[in-house]
């Protein structure tokens, strides 16, 4: 394990976001004419600062402005970089071209998604798990569906999240009104149960110490830690939800990267259909981050306390707030799930896995403690005793590499960085070279104890 301490500098790059981005409650009113009488949504005032990834982009732009001639490498936000496979792109192109003809033109489609695509999703990913096509809701991506699910759940529910966790679960909960205010001392919002998931508990929460909530957000493989829950652990989670009458929102966006036999879907667990909603996406496994396509599964058996089917309410939410995913994107999704499409996609996924392997070998060779990197494209790197935004800032300043500060994923992410295997191969190789040079130079001035470890 590397024992490194990163000290803050006067540079704005190493300041915490709370010092850079003023709380919405601390804004300075600028008078540019009269104000309306509309009172601001109090829930939006609760948000502590910028959403994580726009904040990283802001700092990236500052860095480029300061160093206009450097080659910046991003190992940060989880955007895909490889071209969409030709057959899939060709099918989308053909569909788009057909829209210019009388025979091929299509207008509004079903808000829940094209029936053929819904069946293909059910058959391809859930064929042996009893998921029916009418339980599949096609969308413009998992993140949009998280907000629609929050609209379904409402402000009166209590929620639990993994810590660290994907920030959209928390921020959408704040916006919808499920939380209290942010506590600076604990780095937590009131009324959210944070379930610690770190090396101390094999990245799975101690459910015996977890209080009951109405809803449990659970991501596997986890973003940011890269950890995939085992079948035994998910059995425990489903049992916990059934005992407490809770609902699990299960995010399986990274399931295509699983290598060790961990469950790809919560519905592999008996009884999950009675307590779980699953959200997933074409973004990462098919390179559709810009195309935008995802889906949500709501089983018929999932009921409110009064016995009313939750799927009925989600149907109402979707048909009210959404006109359906782009028909061009849905044509691409159908192409992805063809035999040729699935084969092409597997090649791209393997490319990112090789990137991940390159980064893993580099970081562990430097003695850094690295988790993840097996079942997800992310590496979760520990810098004991350091502030994650300070580590982010120094690596950016000295190597011109973008990473993601772990504290942006919750208090359990402090001292960590998330490093992504999404990127071009030559960038992975160059980033590895820069990181070796940086750490080998830097550790001359700090204690260096090599004891690298990796979990999942």
CATH of the domain at 381: 3.90.1150.10
Same domain, 227 and 332: yes
Q: Contact, 221 vs 258, CB < 8 A?
A: yes
**What pTM did the predictor assign?**
0.91
Residues 155 and 252 in one domain: yes
- Which pLDDT does position 52 carry in this prediction? 83
433 and 373 share a domain?
yes
- Quick check: is 46 in a domain? no
Report the distance separating Cα 173 and Cα 150, nearest Å. 7
Q: Does residue 221 have a cis bond before it (omega within 30 degrees)?
A: yes
Tell me the pLDDT of the chain averaged across its residues: 91
* One domain for residues 138 and 243: yes
pLDDT at 16 over 60: no
Quick check: 17 and 49 in contact, CB under 8 A?
Answer: yes
Q: HEC string of 381-443?
A: EECCCCCHHHHHHHHHHHHCEECEEHHHHCHHHCCEEEEECCCCHHHHHHHHHHHHHHHHHHH
> Tens digit of pLDDT for each residue in 171-189?
999 999 999 999 999 999 9
- Tell me how far apart the alpha carbons of residues 259 and 360 are, in angstroms, rounded to a whole number: 16
Select from 307, 338, 369 the last residue of a domain. Answer: 338
Render pLDDT for 313-352 as a digit per residue (tens, 0 to 9): 999 999 999 999 999 999 999 999 999 999 999 999 999 9
pLDDT at 51 exceeding the cut of 80: no
Residue 165 scores a pLDDT above 60: yes
- Is 345 a member of any domain? yes
pLDDT tens for each residue of 248-295: 999 999 999 999 999 999 999 999 999 999 999 999 999 999 999 999
How distant is the alpha carbon of residue 352 from its chain centre? 17
d(CA 311, CA 298): 6
At residue 53, the pLDDT reads: 83
Choose the final residue of a domain: 338, 359, 376.
Answer: 338
pLDDT of residue 30: 55
Residue 370 neighbours by CB under 8 Å, 6+ apart: 360, 363, 364, 379, 380, 381, 382, 452, 453, 454
Give pLDDT tens digits for 290-311: 999 999 999 999 999 999 999 9
Is residue 284 domain-shared with residue 392, that is, in the same domain? no
Range of the domain at 156: 86-338
Mean pLDDT confidence for 427-440: 96
3-state secondary structure at position 3: coil
Total domains, the chain: 2
Instruction: Report in angstroms the alpha-carbon separations of 33 from 26, 30, 42, 345.
Output: 20, 9, 23, 54
Give 140-164 as a DSSP string.
S-HHHHHHHHHHHH-TT--EEEEES
pLDDT tens sequence across 188-226: 999 999 999 999 999 999 999 999 999 999 999 999 999
> Do 319 and 437 share a domain, yes or no?
no
Q: What are phi and psi of 402, to 5 degrees?
A: -90, 130
Mean pLDDT of 132-150: 97
CB neighbour list of residue 314: distance below 8 Å, 6 or more residues apart: 137, 148, 149, 152, 296, 298
Query: CATH number of the domain that 152 lies in?
Result: 3.40.640.10
Q: Write down the pLDDT at residue 374.
A: 94
Look at residues 338, 360, 378 and tell me which one is the last residue of a structural domain: 338
161-to-142, 182, 217, 338 alpha-carbon distances in Å: 17, 15, 5, 35
Q: Are residues 192 and 69 in the same domain?
A: no
Angstrom distance (rounded) from CA 115 to CA 308: 25
The pLDDT assigned to 44 comes to: 94
Tokens standing for residue 253: 């966006």
Q: Is the pLDDT of residue 24 over 80?
A: no
Go through 337-368 and write b for each residue having 16 or more CB atoms within 10 A of its CB, e for each that does not: beeebbebbeebbebbbebbeebbebbbebbb
Query: Mean pLDDT over residues 26-33, rounded?
Result: 54
Distance CA 156, CA 177 (A): 8
Residue 260 confidence (pLDDT) = 95
What is the tens place of the pLDDT at every residue in 59-72? 999 999 999 999 99
379 — alpha (psi -120 to 50), left (phi > 0) or beta? Answer: beta
Angle of the 425-442 helix axis to the 388-399 helix axis, nearest 10: 110
Is residue 42 a part of any domain in this protein? no
| 19 domain residue, yes or no | no
Question: Same domain for 158 and 279?
Answer: yes
Query: Does residue 449 surpass a pLDDT of 90?
Result: no
Nearest-angstrom CA–CA distance, 333 and 85:
12
Residues 439, 445, 449: CA angle, nearest 5 degrees: 65
């Amino acid at each position: 394990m590397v024992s490194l301490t990163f000290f803050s500098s006067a540079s704005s790059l190493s300041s915490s976001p709370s010092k850079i981005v003023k709380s919405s409650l601390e804004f300075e009113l600028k008078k540019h004419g009269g104000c309306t009488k509309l009172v601001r949504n109090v829930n939006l005032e609760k948000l502590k600062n910028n959403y994580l990834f726009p904040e990283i982009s802001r700092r990236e732009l500052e860095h480029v402005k300061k160093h206009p001639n450097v080659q910046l490498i991003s190992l940060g936000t989880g955007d895909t970089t490889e071209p969409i496979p030709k057959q899939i792109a060709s099918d989308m192109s053909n569909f788009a071209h057909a829209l210019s003809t009388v025979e091929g033109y299509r207008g509004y489609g079903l808000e829940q998604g094209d029936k053929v695509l819904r069946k293909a999703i059910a058959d391809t990913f859930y064929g042996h798990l009893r998921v029916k096509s009418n339980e599949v809701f096609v969308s413009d991506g998992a993140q949009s569906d998280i907000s629609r699910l929050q609209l379904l759940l409402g402000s009166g529910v209590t929620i639990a999240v993994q810590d660290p966790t994907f920030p959209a679960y928390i921020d959408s909960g704040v916006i919808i009104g499920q939380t209290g205010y942010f506590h600076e001392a604990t780095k937590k919002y009131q009324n959210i149960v944070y379930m610690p998931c770190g090396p101390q508990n094999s990245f799975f929460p101690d459910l015996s110490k977890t209080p009951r909530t109405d809803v449990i957000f659970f991501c596997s493989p986890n973003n940011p830690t890269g950890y995939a829950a085992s079948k035994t652990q998910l059995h425990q989670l489903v049992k916990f939800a059934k005992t407490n009458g809770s609902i699990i929102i299960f995010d399986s966006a990274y399931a295509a990267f699983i290598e060790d036999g961990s469950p790809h879907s919560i519905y592999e667990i008996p009884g999950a259909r009675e307590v779980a909603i699953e959200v997933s996406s074409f973004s990462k496994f098919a390179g559709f981050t810009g195309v935008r396509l995802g889906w949500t599964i709501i089983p018929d058996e999932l009921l409110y306390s009064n016995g009313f089917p939750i799927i009925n309410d989600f149907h109402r939410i979707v048909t009210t707030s959404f006109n359906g995913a782009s028909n061009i994107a849905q044509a691409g999704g159908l192409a992805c799930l063809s035999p040729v499409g699935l084969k092409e996609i597997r090649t791209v996924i393997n490319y990112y896995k090789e990137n991940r392997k390159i980064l893993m070998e580099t970081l562990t060779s430097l003695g850094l403690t690295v988790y993840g990197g097996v079942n997800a494209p992310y590496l979760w790197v520990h810098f004991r005793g350091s502030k994650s935004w300070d580590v982010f800032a120094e690596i950016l300043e000295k190597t011109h590499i973008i990473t993601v500060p772990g504290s942006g994923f919750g208090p359990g992410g402090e001292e960590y960085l998330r490093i992504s295997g999404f990127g071009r191969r030559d960038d992975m190789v160059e980033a590895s070279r820069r990181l070796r040079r940086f750490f080998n130079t830097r550790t001359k001035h700090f204690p260096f104890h090599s004891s690298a470890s990796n979990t999942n």
